Chains A and B, each alone.
Chain A
Amino acid sequence: MNLNQRVARLAWPVIIVVVSFMLAPTASVGAPMSSSWDAKACGRVGGTLVFAQGDDPDGLDPHEVTDGFSVNNVSNVFDTLVRFTADSTQVEPSLAESWTVSADNLVWTFKLRKGVKFHDGTPFNAEAVKFNFERQTVEKHPYHPRAVGYADFTFQNVKSVDVVDEYTVRWNLSAPYAPFITNQAMFATGIVSPTAVKQYGQDFFKHPVGTGPFKFVEWIQKDHVTYEANRDYFAGRPCVDRLIIRTIPDNTVRLLEMERGTVHIIIGVNPPDYDRIRRNAELVLFTGAGLNTGYVSMNTEVAPFSDRRVRQAINYAIDRSSLVNAFYGGVGIPAKNPLPPTIWGYADKVQAYEYSVDKAKKLLAEAGFANGLTTELWWPNRARPYLTQPQKIAEALQAQLGLAGIQAKLVTYDWGTYLSKLRNGEDPMAIIGWIGDNGDPDNFLYALLDKDNAVRGKAQNYAFYKSDAVHRLLIQAQRVGDQATRAQLYEQAQEIIHRDAPWAPLVHASRVSAYRKDAQNYLYHPLEITWLHRVWLSK
């Protein structure tokens, strides 16, 4: 791309946004002036980039998948109306060049980018956006995927989508919902080619066709997926010619492959290997604050955890720093809030429960457990980013609680069973966690701690914490558009939650990845998703 084209590409969205700001009769939502990704220029074009992760994608249809391995694939094939900036969870234009929202926060109007084509050559337009929405939400739609994991979340409060003209779509909401715009940047709202969906039907999940930087070539299951550069990509062609996403289940073997030079970038590193990577002059260990929280959920509906003093005692009894050092390679952050500090609205002024066995014992005595108490501590038999070594962490917590006089028997189940039982509230106290989907505080606080989500059998609020004060704040924060006001509301909610202590927040694990130095421009995004179109190979 020559300089003029580049300037033109940067200038047009700016002009359009500015003009739409001037013309719009309604309140406008700010759109950045240009793409944050443009700063990441290709130093060299060409070559084959190899990225390796621990498992195969479940599928390559963004409307169906829910697992991170699939997300790293589909995020490189499909675009969304808006997208996350290169290094934050703020959003900026993508397939939509600009958007406005009505004064009552109920109608969102998007102006679409012109001249964009799907990988199969068909045009992207307003009809395609409507098709994508209806494919996911209308049960009787002829191409409704069998399993739609995210649509209930990404399109909550959305009533309908209207095609205004070929390049304008209008979203009608049933109630104001501020996180709506962030949700339109999530992988699950990736725009698929209607023509390809009709062509492949049920098998679209292995024939993905989007507008994104990489075109699908082949998928050898449990081995690798091959992509080639989309040379017509509207935001400039990717730096490499080919992208291979390999599946290598074992963390050590994956690292050895990278050391040999057969893989450029890996995610999933054993903490004991951090130093090995740091010592290698050809490799870089990437660590950054994560978008996750590992916590102990206490069932507030059953004794003894129905007593706030017992819950606070548990919080005092846990030495979070020692957990971070022992099990997170020293690169996690001890948690004091449900929100990770990477998200705006994080209540930094909240004073953490410090590690104090004496305070824990005192509170237990006040609650009538001067001689200690016996309970169960549940732990999931599956490592998660926020829970690197589940069994060892559970044993360490058991020992720490023991010092405060809390004898906790360890109980475990496999992942699926574990979640089902937690949803039913069968546990007294359980280790669990959450990885943010869209970087919005609502995605943590409302999803995990609002009384709306404390319904037995389908609860995500595993503590069954029901605070009317928190509920009012969280609902209000969904309805106002202004981010500063929302942040204040979330901070107030976190203070109440801290006092009520339905959780003992444990740790925010860092996002950790490693790469070879010749893979330039690589950044492991705060959302723990790997976008690879701006990575270039120096040799």
Chain B
Amino acid sequence: MARYVGRRLLELVPVAFGVLLVVFIISHLTPADPVLVILGEHASPATVERLRAELRLNDPLPVQFVRYVGGVLHGDLGRSIKQNERVTVQLATRFPATFELTIAAMLIASAVGILTGVVAAARQNSWFDAVSMFAALVGFSMPIFWLGIMLILLFAWYLGWVPISGRLDYTIELTRLTNFYLLDALLTRNWAALGNAARHLILPAVTLSTVPLAIIARMTRSSLLEVLRQDYVRTARAKGLAERIVVMRHALKNAFIPVVTVIGLNVGSLLGGAILTETIFAWPGMGRLVVDAIFARDYPVVQGTVLVIALLFVVVNLLVDLSYAYLDPRIRYG
């Protein structure tokens, strides 16, 4: 097991290198010039040239790449071209916002999705099955942008139960230790901030959870139905076990492998940021960071962000693979 984990972690190295290389090439091959984006319309050609030289953008691409990788190996992701801020600092403020949102959304999606899937499978062809699976289809096809605005209109604008946008009211003081607001509020025992941050989190998390929730519900249902048809389930039923115990204790765990895979993939991709949800709810996460950086040709930010996202994806997938061994004792890693 330890060897397996070690080997998988070692795989991070070629993945990271590959990601760096591909992103570096793609971002530098697209036309447009970050220097012009920063300096605007009024800078003289001499100023443009000077800044380009200062940022060492005139060096041959392989030289720039080697220099960049050298920096990365020393934990230095460079400075944002647009903002002159360290990329690591930008990531450290943005990633926690995305992480909180992702975890909240996936908790909702997993809890509601699995529960719905299980009930729908246990009562196959019932009205609940039909309605919930139809709802899942609608949820999956829902334009996030529209859904977000509708939720805001109803719950924030009309009913006033939750705030419309943002991560924390500006009236709330919070000592930002980690930039994970919920955690910071807990650490500093700032209950006002905790409640406020949690209320801000609800609508974006619900919006973001819709699509994964629909997938998880449908996946749980179909996987569970398949398991319920297996011989050992028939044996369990033949023993006279209550249906609830058959489903919950004997079938569910085995049905989980594809569900966990889906959850893992969704966590991985949501950690990369959710540009639409972040835009609607003015959520300062990774999605807006990377999209802004792409438009500004801010190479170091694009590279740094994609690198972190890729590594997170690999780690999440490793955790998913490890969970297989727990869910299915026949699976062993060695």
Contact = CB atoms under 8 A, between A and B. Distances in A.
A528 B325 CA distance: 62
Contacts of A146: 51, 54, 84
A56 B153 CA distance: 24
Nearest to B283: A222
A250 B279 contact: yes
Contacts of A166: none
B30 A66 contact: no
Interface residues of A, number: 50
A226 B94 CA distance: 19
A249 B31 contact: no
A66 B42 contact: yes
B188 interface: no
Among A148, A206, A416, A419, the most chain B Cβ lie within 10 Å of the Cβ of A416
A9 interface: no
B274 to A, nearest CB: 13
Contacts of A202: 84
Given A221-B93, A221-B284, A149 B170 contact: no
A325 interface: no
A417 interface: yes
B279 A149 contact: no
Which of B44, B170, B289 has the most A CB atoms < 10 Å from its CB? Answer: B170
Nearest to A150: B42
A252 interface: yes
A83 interface: no
Interface in B33-86: 33-48, 50-51, 54, 82-85
A152 interface: yes
Contact of B280 (A58, A149, A253): A253
A491 B39 CA distance: 31
A458 B295 contact: no
Contact of B288 (A48, A222, A413): A222
Contacts of A205: 83-84
A259 B43 CA distance: 40
Contacts of A417: 30-32
A416 B32 contact: yes
A78 B152 CA distance: 37
By CB atoms of chain B within 10 A, which of A202, A262, A413, A420 has the most?
A262
B169 to A, nearest CB: 8
A256 B164 contact: yes
Interface in B86-110: 90, 93-94
Given A58-B83, A224-B170, A260-B164, A149 B36 contact: no
A189 interface: no
A116 B83 CA distance: 30
B282 A421 contact: no
A162 interface: no
A149 B40 contact: yes
Interface string B282-296: 101000110000011
Interface in A249-298: 249-250, 252-253, 256-257, 259-260, 262
A50 B169 CA distance: 12
B44 A152 contact: yes
A219 to B, nearest CB: 11
Contacts of B195: none
Nearest to B289: A222
Contacts of B39: 66, 147-149
B281 interface: yes
Contacts of A221: 90, 93-94, 284
Contacts of B279: 249-250
B167 interface: yes
A445 to B, nearest CB: 15
Given A252-B149, A415-B295, A419-B36, A148 B47 contact: yes
Interface residues of B, number: 53
Contacts of B282: 222-223, 246-250, 253
Contacts of B30: 417
A222 B284 CA distance: 5
Contacts of A460: 41
A414 interface: yes
A538 to B, nearest CB: 20
Contacts of B85: 206
Contacts of B84: 59, 64, 146-147, 202, 205
B160 interface: yes
Contacts of A259: 157
Contacts of B93: 221
Contact of B45 (A48, A256, A458): A458
B165 A253 contact: yes
A66 B41 CA distance: 8
A179 to B, nearest CB: 13
Contact of B32 (A206, A253, A414): A414
A244 interface: yes
B157 A260 contact: yes
B57 to A, nearest CB: 13
A474 B33 CA distance: 30
B218 interface: no
A139 B31 contact: no
A416 B36 contact: yes
A267 B90 CA distance: 26
Contacts of A224: 166, 170
Contacts of B221: none
A440 interface: no
B64 to A, nearest CB: 17
B295 A414 contact: yes
A12 interface: no
Nearest to B37: A416
Given A59-B83, A246-B170, A420-B32, A150 B164 contact: no
A253 B203 CA distance: 13
Residue from the set B37, B41, B85, B168 with the largest chain A CB neighbour count within 10 Å: B41
A442 interface: no
A253 B164 contact: yes
Given A205-B83, A416-B36, A226 B170 contact: yes
B92 to A, nearest CB: 11
Interface string A373-394: 0000000000000000000000
B288 A249 contact: yes
A351 B169 CA distance: 54
Contacts of B37: 415-416
Interface in B119-167: 149, 152-153, 156-157, 160, 163-167
A257 B281 CA distance: 11
Given A250-B282, A259-B157, A458-B45, A223 B40 contact: no
Contacts of B51: 146-147
A152 B164 CA distance: 42
A153 interface: yes
Contacts of A148: 39, 43, 47
22 contacts: A58-B82, A66-B41, A67-B40, A146-B54, A146-B84, A147-B35, A149-B38, A150-B42, A152-B42, A223-B166, A223-B167, A224-B166, A249-B282, A252-B149, A253-B280, A253-B281, A257-B164, A262-B163, A262-B164, A417-B32, A420-B32, A420-B36
Given A153-B42, A153-B43, A416-B33, 9 more contacts: A59-B83, A152-B47, A221-B93, A221-B94, A222-B94, A224-B166, A246-B282, A247-B284, A416-B34
Interface of B: 30-48, 50-51, 54, 82-85, 90, 93-94, 149, 152-153, 156-157, 160, 163-168, 170-171, 279-282, 284, 288-289, 295-297
Task: List 3 tightest A-B contacts by C-beta distance, closest first.
Answer: A66-B40, A416-B32, A222-B284
